[in-house]
A and B are shown apart, each in its own frame.
Chain A
Amino acid sequence: MEIKFNINEDKGLHIFVGKMGTGKSNLLNAINWCLYGDEPIIEGKDQLINKSDMSTDEQPRLNTEKYKCLKPGNTEIVSVKIYIVDGNSTIIFQREEKYRLVNEKTVNVSEDNFEVTIIEPDTQPQIFEEYTANAYVEKFVPQEIRDYFFFDGEKLDRYFKETSGHMNKHAIETISQIEILEKSKETLDDIFSEYRRLTTKNIPELKKITEDLEAVEDKIKKLEEEKVLLDSQKGTAKDTESHYDRLLRGVPDVKKLSEEQSRKEEKKGKLKEKRNEKEKVYKDLLRKYSVLIPIDPAIQFVLDYISSNQSIGKFPPTNDERLIEEIIHKKECICGRTVDSEEIKILEKLKEKISLPAKIVAEILEESGKLKNLKKEIVNFPDVMKRNYEDIDGLDSEIDSIQNEIDEIGRKIKGYDQEQIGKYYENRGLARETIDRNNNRLGQISSELDKLKRESKDLTEKLNKGKNLIEDTSTIESKKDFVNNSREILEKIKDNVIVKIKNEVEEKTKDIFLKLSWKKQTFNGVKLDDNYKLYLIHEDGFKISKTSSGGEGEILALSFVSALHEVSGFNSTVVIDRPITLVSGEATLKVAEVLTKMSSNKQLILMFNTDEYPLVSTVLDNACSDKFLVGLTSSERECYIQKVI
């Protein structure tokens, strides 16, 4: 497939429009792969969705149609060529990879080749490979700063909201090209040490001080190198943390949520057990009251019966039938006196009058207490049942509520690839660990450096005081001073160059931003602070570190990118995937207008989703030099690109 852009001096805008998943991002990846051999946009949120039907093997770069038709032993080539026209010269970057089917499942990358061809008028084309080819890429767009040329719109919007200044600092140092100054300074340091050794080698006291000083300086140098390394690692870790923050924004921590879901399931299980116990109590109560309630009239009758007999003095009985029987039988009174026949007759008449046996009456009186308790229980029936219902209802609503929480978690994590998300969280955690670990170590280094610098200062003063012991060293001393002055000057030059470039970039960013922005009244400046973090300056003078979705973040990013390009001289094409994806409202058209303005002096390749492009088509259709539609063939295995403007 060949994509040829119209070269138009005034219209450097090229547009691709296609549905999600048709392969627009592949274009950005193809450029990156061709120049640097990797595909940075391969990780996306869509990867977090569990694609259980996909092979877990790494997907080959070979397109699906070719991959399907690949026969064992045959070779297919994946190749990307980028043609750059620069005046009369043409530069061709080309990378290719060969694929061979080893067995039904495995595709083997058998070769990888990268070359750069330079075609100039009236000369034979020059072909460069390996190191030289890579050096050409570095001259075109250094890998270190490629993120400022080829990026996705989401990143563009969030770049200045989230990224630390580390990347900006690194980019500015890269374009300042200060490596040669650093190397020169290192050489001067070595010469200076050598001279110092020479002047003190014959004076034992000074020789010892020099050796101590060199040891201290060596430690300082190592610590400073470690500090630079740690700072750099910390910066990278901060960017990594931001990267995963971005990927994980709105994405649930599936592992944590799954654990929470299990805990809730366990809690639900316990509540259900409790509920079952309560239900058993409920059934036991129903069984109990199934006897008590129907028997209530009988209980009430007996209680009334006892009560009425008590009220008439019948209960408890005054005569004991068994005692009378015993007296009649023994003919002896309880006091021991013999009872005569007349008295027996009276006792027999009395016995006839006793209608109820005392034993039964005693029994029923004894039961009256229990009957009253049963009556109380019957009266309490509604309250007892109510308490039980409330307990069950309470448990039911607790179970419902916990079930809702479980379902909610289920909805949150449904369809996500737990393993992939887990890895993202793990990576973000590792980045955080690195930041914390490096911060600790940097703190230690800082105090160690303070101590060593004090030691170095003391030793230098001692050495200077002992200068009078040095005989006839004026020539070496003056050389040493010269070298020392030179390295100090170099250090200043290096700092000045960086500051100058930084100021230039800041100034340029401000100029471009104010030219591009439609909110000239709100913002009156741009600040690149000491940590290289970029801020907008409000008209009232305060710094704004976080922008809304009103598009100003994107404009700031684009301004910085353009400034970097202008200052560095690396004026390559800019490729942006979905530039308006996170801009909303009227800002969408404004951003489109800004992109149009930018394209008047910079080649811009923009890629849009079909549902986003209509929002900006009125502006961009007229401004672009060509527009392409990207789609999939009916087999959905290959994409096609059709030029429509």
Chain B
Amino acid sequence: MGDPDRLYIDKDDRTIYKKLKEIGIFKDLQDKDQFMFAMGYGIRYKQKIPLKSRENFFLVDRFKDEDIVVLNSLAIYENRNANEPIEILKDKAEIYKIAEEYAHGGILLIEGSSNTQIESFWKFLEKELDEIYIKKIINKESKSNE
């Protein structure tokens, strides 16, 4: 079996993606970018949920090099307890599956957050990113420097 040529979302998530596009959170975003955003959200809240039923979302050729790097890193990190974590790179289907499960978890969370005013959503997001940046990046780096 060859490498997969497309990414999938849960069937039920289709309406959520559509709604988020309508209310402006996904305004002007391509399917691939919507997916990446949802995936980021899922990673942040560690929401990796298997898809109940798969539905075609976009072709893998939409990914840019940086996207591939991000997906690979995520898969390696998920496989960090294996003998050779990077072995997972041999299995493209597994790499995409991990991304799909995080995107599924993330999209459900975004739907919950988006019920507030749209501008509040951006402010909330900004605040969250600030907090994560300080807590998880700056603090971690200062610890490792110590």
Contacts and interface: CB of A to CB of B under 8 A. Distances in A.
Contacts of A286: 122, 125-126, 129
Nearest to A368: B69
Q: Which 9 A-B pairs have the closest CB atoms?
A: A298-B77, A291-B40, A294-B43, A294-B44, A298-B73, A290-B40, A370-B69, A302-B73, A360-B89
A360 B87 contact: yes
Interface string B114-139: 00000000100110011011001100
Contact of A305 (B29, B36, B68, B76): B76
B146 interface: no
Contacts of A482: none
B70 interface: yes
A287 B29 contact: yes
Interface stretch (A15-23, A115-123, A374-382, A591-599): A374-382
Given A290-B41, A294-B43, 10 more contacts: A291-B37, A292-B70, A293-B132, A293-B136, A295-B40, A296-B137, A298-B73, A298-B76, A361-B86, A381-B133
27 contacts: A287-B33, A290-B40, A290-B41, A290-B44, A290-B125, A290-B129, A291-B39, A292-B40, A293-B137, A294-B41, A295-B40, A295-B70, A295-B74, A296-B136, A298-B73, A299-B73, A302-B76, A305-B86, A355-B84, A360-B86, A360-B90, A364-B72, A371-B69, A374-B66, A374-B69, A379-B137, A381-B133
A195 interface: no
Contacts of B142: none
B74 A298 contact: yes
A293 B68 CA distance: 16
A294 B76 CA distance: 15
A308 to B, nearest CB: 11
A365 to B, nearest CB: 10
Nearest to B67: A291
A294 B40 contact: yes
A363 interface: yes
B70 A374 contact: yes
B19 interface: no
A294 B132 contact: yes
B70 A291 contact: yes
The winner among B41, B78, B132 for most chain A CB atoms within 10 A is B132
B4 interface: no
Contacts of A305: 76, 85-86
At the interface, is chain B mostly helix, strand, loop or mixed? helix
A289 B128 CA distance: 11
Nearest to A309: B86
Contacts of B85: 301, 305
Interface string B33-75: 1001101110110000000000000000000011011101110
Nearest to A305: B85
Contact of A287 (B37, B83, B132): B37
A396 to B, nearest CB: 14
Interface of B: 29, 33, 36-37, 39-41, 43-44, 65-66, 68-70, 72-74, 76-78, 80, 83-87, 89-90, 122, 125-126, 129-130, 132-133, 136-137, 140
A374 B66 CA distance: 8
A283 interface: yes
A57 to B, nearest CB: 54
B69 A363 contact: no
A385 B77 CA distance: 27
A293 B130 CA distance: 9
Nearest to A385: B126
The winner among B33, B44, B69, B70 for most chain A CB atoms within 10 A is B69
Nearest to A315: B86
Nearest to A304: B144
B133 A364 contact: no
A287 B73 CA distance: 19
A367 interface: yes
Nearest to A286: B125
Contact of A289 (B66, B73, B129): B129
Contact of A295 (B73, B80, B90, B129): B73
A546 to B, nearest CB: 58
A300 B143 CA distance: 14
The winner among B65, B76, B86, B130 for most chain A CB atoms within 10 A is B86
A78 interface: no
B83 A301 contact: no
Contacts of B137: 293, 296, 378-379
Nearest to A371: B69
Given A286-B126, A294-B43, A294-B132, A363 B37 contact: no
Contacts of B66: 370, 374
Nearest to A360: B89
Contacts of A293: 40, 44, 129, 132-133, 136-137
Contacts of A367: 68-69, 72
B70 A364 contact: no
A356 interface: yes
A296 B78 CA distance: 13
A297 B43 CA distance: 10
